[in-house]
Amino acid sequence: MKILILGAGQVGGTLAESLAQEAFDITLVDTDGERLHELAMRLDIQTVEGSASHPDVLRKAGADDADMLIAVTSSDEINMVACQVCYSLFRTPMKIARIRAAAYMEKEEFFHKNHMPIDRLINPEAVVTSQIHELLSHPGALDVADFADGRVQLVAMKAVHNGPLVGHALSFLREDMPSVDTRVAAIFRRGQSILPRGETVIEAEDEVFFIAAREHINRVMQELRKAEQAYKRITIAGGGNIGARLASEIENQYAVKVIELDPARAKTLADRLHNTVVIQGAATDRELLLEENIEQCDAFCALTNDDEVNVMASLMAKRLGCRQVITLITKPAYVDLVQGGEIDIAISPQQATTSSVLSHVRKGDVARVHSLRRGAAEAMEAIAHGDSSSSNVVGRKIQELKLPDGVTIGAIVRGEDVLIAHDDVIVETDDHVILFMVDKGKVAAVERLFQVSLNFV
Amino acid sequence: MHFSVIFRVTGTLLTFFSATFVPPMLVALYFQEQTLHTFSIALAVTLGVGLALWLPLRGDRELRGGDGFLITALFYLGLGVFGAIPFLLAPNLDLQLVDAVFESMSGLTTTGATVLVNLDDMPKSLLFYRQQLQWFGGMGIIVLAVAIFPMLGIGGMQLYRTESPGPVKDNKLTPRITETAKALWYIYVSLTVACALAYWAAGMSLFDAVSHSFATVAIGGFSTHDASIGYFNSALIESVASIFMVLSGINFGLHFLVWRRKNPLLYFADYEVRTYLLVLLFVSVTVITLLFNAPMDVESPLRKGIFQTISYATTTGFVTADVSGWPSSAAMLLLLAAFAGGCAGSTAGGIKLVRVLMIYLQGMREVRRLIHPNGVFPIKLGKTPVSDRLIESVWSFFSVYVLLFFLSVVLIMLVSELDFLTAFSSVGATLNNLGPGLGEVALNYAGLDASVKWVLMFNMMLGRLEIFTLLVLLTPAYWRR
């Protein structure tokens, strides 16, 4: 598959990197020649320097036979024009664009092919915001992903000594809460994955991934660590796009404070937010944090656009007694350095973007993809098609499926129903199957499994 | 200063004002009263002076921004004086000049303080004229003039700026001032018609219904009876009056919006209106509680408590009970409520709730600043942030208002033998365009000295012109500009 990526910024660069690793043909377009050169040295991609929306530049980049366009330049308008140009001049079948301004989203029909021909919109800031929002509503979770419109959730969390399940085999789950159905999809112990079986014993510090219906998630979480108090006081450091968005989403649920350095921006925020206390000052200022009673704070979200500031502010907040810190980190190299130490959760915006693009580049019918563990693992919502003769999955019991090693099926969503994937569940056509892969290398095998064979027409 | 322009505009407006003597003439004709003659003279004099000022200066230069202040003030002065002619000339009335001007000014500024007694025996046409004065004063004769007489060829905005009450002045409804004035005028007229019909249906005579609707919608408070609304002693009429007083105390711009969008819920979306209704509720409940626990016997405390609260808090000044016979705490609370007044952009007087609200919000901001020394707390009306410049002008307004209030009280006590309560309440009742006060002026201002009346008249104008319009004229800088 030939993919054209416009814009070699943070998002474009990471996308190019992760897609190139999956053996797609990537062409990257940007006006910054140096940045392109730097990426081309590192990755197996083609680069074109020039204005991303100009037809001649796009033609040079191979728009004529590209299968997909991903427009992620910093300008909404360039992204839109590029999609329009590719639609009108090159008939590119799939066009994905990043649109950040909420003003364009007013009417859904606007992005129809008769008006502004964009097939999929991505908005990384919105994705990151909703991810943080989910984490805040599930105290103790390291990662939360929605599947099937939020009916099923995948949650990652660290097991703690006081959890009832810790020290017991997984089969104990059944006995302890017979009314709740869940499936443990993976367990990582000291960075190594172990295949969860009924007799596997959970240890403290294990990173456990489980899948359950949305309403059961909190109950399952209590098995792994004693019931966490719901968050009340939230402090957000950095009132940029993500910080402001998050604050306005949660300000009526929690007591929210936003710390913003720039006085003018702080004023704008205070005008826009109605239930939030806006503090003007540096998030790394110890006196300021103390003055604002950081020790009483339940969750501290460091969301400035500066990784170093985020890390330092988070460390300080944690040291001063804040219960949980969530830190936004854009440099992938930093994520592994900090997560799991004093910083509880590191969020990478690239991972969120990659996730939202990945579902469109996957072969077969994939509704959603969620990258986990810094892109090493992946959860996927695939849709089964065909019948027992044309498909390798439909009409078969889960235990009969020839799943590659390290791949587990967590749940099946059939219409409105959520079925937790026990061995004897039979897959039907149009089922949404939620799979978990501890290793992304297995993606191709899974795709093959879900493809309908050729005699099905 | 271009006096020619001022004369011209004043002349024009006097010319048109002379037409307002026609309806009372018709009333006089209908009831066969001698006052027909009185109004004819008033019409002739006003028209003559108006034309004499206007015609020679036609087609002179356009108005400029600063002229608006002078014209607005001259307007009330000029019309106040010329509007006094019928009171001066009316047979068997024998009023002094000061009393006639006081009555006329009280009408035009929709204050409703009166020096006339034995209203019930007066000619109907004269009574009608008083009510009509309030009605024209209500919306500001200038807004009327701008709506009806675009031929004046005035830029207009500067006039609207100085005329329409309240701090949020640049909130234009329609792009053209003439259109805005027309829209407001339609609402004003519709509200009056609805009010008159409601009064009529509630049992008033047609004459009383129309007369009282004028005074209600203008938030004036003049009545055709000495006993005011209490004359009718009807719960139904009092309810009608209450409803229309509350409506008239709401920003007319908001009425326009509700009417245009056909959505009455917009009233409750407005922060000021919500506060307004809450204040009315709070004061009513408190007053009623005070009345029930009063040492003296108060007649039907529930009904009278609610009516008097609405009448005072909206600064109308209708009465159904002698408030000075009530516990002094209740009376003082009512007077305080009149200080807060109605909504900006309505016909109500007082400081206006939106200003009180902003001062309150600023107080709350100070508290929050003490808790979060580095916090950024803009002042917001509902969800709209308010600029610091606006807050500043609200504070200036408030301080000057209070200062002038006390200066006037002291001045009155210097020039007369009045007791503190009377001085205090009479200034409060005129500055807030309320009408009835406490003590000696609970029902009538007839017994006061002439000097006191002049001071009170000045207070009425100050209140109606939102103080600064008049103060600007008293500074040498304005005349040197």
CA distances from A47 to A40, A85, B52 (A): 7, 19, 85
Percent of chain B with pLDDT over 70: 89
Do A30 and A79 lie in one domain? The reply is yes
Do A158 and A205 lie in one domain? The reply is yes
Residue of higher predicted confidence among B88 and A10: B88
User: Best interface-test mutation with B: which of A257, A277, A291 has the largest number of B CBs within 10 A?
Assistant: A277
Q: Is residue A211 part of a domain?
A: yes
Residues of chain B contacting residue A260, judged by C-beta atoms under 8 Å apart? 376
CB A237 within 8 A of CB A231: no
Q: Using CA atoms, how far apart are residues B127 and A82, in angstroms rounded to an integer?
A: 76
Do A169 and A248 lie in one domain? The reply is no
What's the pLDDT at B293? 87
Helix (H) or strand (E) holding B379: strand B379-381
Do A155 and A207 lie in one domain? The reply is yes
Q: List b or e across A153-191, with b for residues whose CB sees 16 or more CB atoms inside 10 angstroms.
A: bbbbbbbeeebebbebebebbeeebeebbbbbbbbbeee
Amino acid letter, residue B69: F
pLDDT band for B381, please (50, 70, 90 cuts). Answer: confident
Structure-block tokens of residue B250: 């709401």
Q: Using CA atoms, how far apart are residues A411 and A428, in angstroms rounded to an integer?
A: 13
Structure-block tokens of residue B291: 């009345």
Residue of higher predicted confidence among B340 and A356: B340
CB pair distance less than 8 Å for A271 and B377:
no
* Shortest distance, CA A111 to any CA of chain B (angstroms): 30
Q: Using CA atoms, how far apart are residues B198 and B196, in angstroms rounded to an integer?
A: 5
Q: Is B368 an interface residue toward A (CB < 8 Å)?
A: yes
Q: What is the ipTM of this complex?
A: 0.71
* Shortest distance, CA A192 to any CA of chain B (angstroms): 46
Number of Cβ within 10 Å of residue B237's Cβ equals: 23
CA distances from A218 to A155, A212, B176 (A): 10, 10, 59
Helix (H) or strand (E) holding B55: none
Q: Using CA atoms, how far apart are residues B182 and B248, in angstroms rounded to an integer?
A: 17
Residues of chain A contacting residue B383, judged by C-beta atoms under 8 Å apart? 274
Count contacts between A and B (CB, < 8 Å).
35
Q: Using CA atoms, how far apart are residues B79 and B85, in angstroms rounded to an integer?
A: 10
Interval A407-450: pLDDT, tens: 888 888 888 888 888 888 888 888 888 888 888 778 778 888 88
Cα B315 to chain centroid distance, Å, stands at 8
Q: List b or e across B328-351, with b for residues whose CB sees 16 or more CB atoms inside 10 angstroms.
A: eebbbbbbebbbbbbbbbbbbbbb
Do A42 and A94 lie in one domain? The reply is yes
CATH code of the domain in which A356 resides: 3.30.70.1450
Alpha helices in B343-387, H assignment, sequence order? 353-371
Q: Is residue A308 part of a domain?
A: yes
CB pair distance less than 8 Å for B374 and A281:
yes
* 3-state helix/strand/coil string of chain A: CEEEEECCCHHHHHHHHHHHHCCCEEEEEECCHHHHHHHHHHCCCEEEECCCCCHHHHHHCCHHHCCEEEECCCCHHHHHHHHHHHHHHHCCCEEEEECCCHHHHCCHHHHCCCCCCCCEEECHHHHHHHHHHHHHHCCCEEEEEEECCCCEEEEEEECCCCCCCCCCECCHHHHHCCCCCEEEEEEEECCEEECCCCCCECCCCCEEEEEEEHHHHHHHHHHHCCCCCCCCEEEEECCCHHHHHHHHHHCCCCEEEEEECCHHHHHHHHHHCCCEEEEECCCCCHHHHHHCCHHHCCEEEECCCCHHHHHHHHHHHHHCCCCEEEEECCCHHHHHHHECCCECEEECHHHHHHHHHHHHHCCCCEEEEEEECCCCEEEEEEECCCCCCCCCCCCCEHHHCCCCCCEEEEEEEECCEEEECCCCCECCCCCEEEEEECCHHHHHHHHHHHCCCCCCC
Interval A266-280: pLDDT, tens: 999 999 999 999 999
Looking up tokens 């170093």 gives A308
Q: List b or e across B139-149, with b for residues whose CB sees 16 or more CB atoms inside 10 angstroms.
A: bbbbbbbbbee
Q: Is residue A139 part of a domain?
A: no
Last residue of a domain, one of A88, A122, A156: A122
The conformation of residue B327, written as its DSSP 8-state character, comes to -
CB pair distance less than 8 Å for A288 and B385:
no
Cα dihedral across residues B333, B334, B335, B340: positive or negative: positive
Helix (H) or strand (E) holding B384: strand B384-386
Mean pLDDT score of chain B: 83
Structure-block tokens of residue B444: 């009538």
Mapping DSSP to helix (H, G, I), strand (E, B) and coil, where does residue B106 land? helix
Q: Is residue A457 part of a domain?
A: no
Cα dihedral across residues B203, B207, B212, B214: positive or negative: positive
CB pair distance less than 8 Å for A279 and B383:
no
Do A22 and A40 lie in one domain? The reply is yes
What's the pLDDT at B170? 42
What's the pLDDT at B155? 29
CB B184 within 8 A of CB B192: no
The residue length of chain B stands at 481
Last residue of a domain, one of A313, A347, A381: A347
Number of Cβ within 10 Å of residue B169's Cβ equals: 17
Q: Identify which of B54, B58, B57 has the alpha carbon closest to the alpha carbon of residue B78.
A: B54
Interval B34-85: pLDDT, tens: 888 889 999 999 999 988 888 877 665 666 656 667 777 777 888 889 999 9
Q: Is residue A455 part of a domain?
A: no
Burial of A243 per CB tally in 10 Å (0-12, 13-18, 19+): buried
Structure-block tokens of residue A296: 């009483």
Helix (H) or strand (E) holding B318: none
Question: Is the pLDDT score of A263 beyond 80?
Answer: yes
Number of Cβ within 10 Å of residue B170's Cβ equals: 6
Q: Which domain holds residue A356?
A: 351-450
Q: Which residues on adjacent β-strands are paired with residue B183?
A: none
Interval A347-368: pLDDT, tens: 888 777 777 787 777 766 777 8
User: Best interface-test mutation with A: which of B361, B374, B379, B380 has the largest number of A CBs within 10 A?
Assistant: B374
The total number of structural domains in chain A stands at 4
Residues of chain A contacting residue B372, judged by C-beta atoms under 8 Å apart? 277, 279, 291-292
Residue of A266, A271, A291 lying closest to B385 (CB–CB): A271
Q: Using CA atoms, how far apart are residues B271 and B381, in angstroms rounded to an integer?
A: 6
Structure-block tokens of residue A429: 């056509």
Residues of chain B contacting residue A280, judged by C-beta atoms under 8 Å apart? 374-376
Q: Identify which of A17, A21, A9 has the alpha carbon closest to the alpha carbon of residue A439.
A: A21
E strand intervals along B174-283: none
What's the pLDDT at A397? 85
User: Best interface-test mutation with B: which of A256, A257, A292 has the largest number of B CBs within 10 A?
Assistant: A292
Lowest-pLDDT range, A203-207, A224-228, B239-243, B406-410?
A224-228
Residues of chain A contacting residue B375, judged by C-beta atoms under 8 Å apart? 277-280
Do A148 and A105 lie in one domain? The reply is no
pLDDT band for B129, please (50, 70, 90 cuts). Answer: very high
Q: Give the residue-averaged pLDDT of B452-476.
A: 86
Q: Is B385 an interface residue toward A (CB < 8 Å)?
A: yes
Helix-then-strand count for chain B, H and E: 23, 3
Residue of B368, B373, B378 lying closest to A267 (CB–CB): B378
Mean pLDDT score of chain A: 86
* Shortest distance, CA B367 to any CA of chain A (angstroms): 13
What's the pLDDT at B452? 93
CB pair distance less than 8 Å for B375 and A279:
yes
Looking up tokens 């720039």 gives A262
What's the pLDDT at A232? 92
Q: List b or e across A413-439, with b for residues whose CB sees 16 or more CB atoms inside 10 angstroms.
A: beeeebbbbeeebebebebbbbbbbbe
Q: Is residue A165 part of a domain?
A: yes
Do A18 and A67 lie in one domain? The reply is yes
CB pair distance less than 8 Å for B373 and A281:
no
What's the pLDDT at B144? 42
Q: Give the residue-averaged pLDDT of A93-121.
A: 85
pLDDT band for B276, please (50, 70, 90 cuts). Answer: very high
Question: Is the pLDDT score of B165 beyond 70?
Answer: no
CB pair distance less than 8 Å for A269 and B368:
no
Q: Which residues on adjacent β-strands are paired with residue A323?
A: none
Residues in Cβ contact with B213 at an 8 Å cutoff, skipping those fewer than 6 apart: B192, B193, B195, B196, B199, B244
Do A217 and A263 lie in one domain? The reply is no
Residue of A260, A270, A291 lying closest to B378 (CB–CB): A270
Q: Which residues on adjacent β-strands are paired with residue A183?
A: A211
Do A7 and A74 lie in one domain? The reply is yes
Burial of A453 per CB tally in 10 Å (0-12, 13-18, 19+): exposed
Do A210 and A322 lie in one domain? The reply is no
CATH code of the domain in which A332 resides: 3.40.50.720
Residue of B373, B377, B383 lying closest to A270 (CB–CB): B377
CA distances from B30 to A83, B25, B207, B348 (A): 79, 9, 11, 33
CB B248 within 8 A of CB B216: yes
Residue of A263, A274, A278 lying closest to B375 (CB–CB): A278
For the whole model, what pTM was predicted? 0.78
Interval A40-86: pLDDT, tens: 998 889 999 999 999 999 999 988 889 999 999 989 999 999 999 99
Q: Is residue A138 part of a domain?
A: no
* Shortest distance, CA A294 to any CA of chain B (angstroms): 13
Do A338 and A368 lie in one domain? The reply is no
What's the pLDDT at A347? 86
Q: Is A282 an interface residue toward B (CB < 8 Å)?
A: no
Last residue of a domain, one of A347, A380, A413: A347
Mapping DSSP to helix (H, G, I), strand (E, B) and coil, where does residue B163 land? helix
Lateral strand order in the sheet of A120-122: A46-49, A25-30, A2-6, A68-71, A94-98, A120-122
Q: Is A377 an interface residue toward B (CB < 8 Å)?
A: no
Q: Is A263 an interface residue toward B (CB < 8 Å)?
A: yes
CB pair distance less than 8 Å for B374 and A280:
yes
Q: Identify which of B291, B191, B289, B279 has the alpha carbon closest to the alpha carbon of residue B243.
A: B191
Looking up tokens 């501890």 gives A438
Residues of chain B contacting residue A263, judged by C-beta atoms under 8 Å apart? 376
Q: Is residue A54 part of a domain?
A: yes
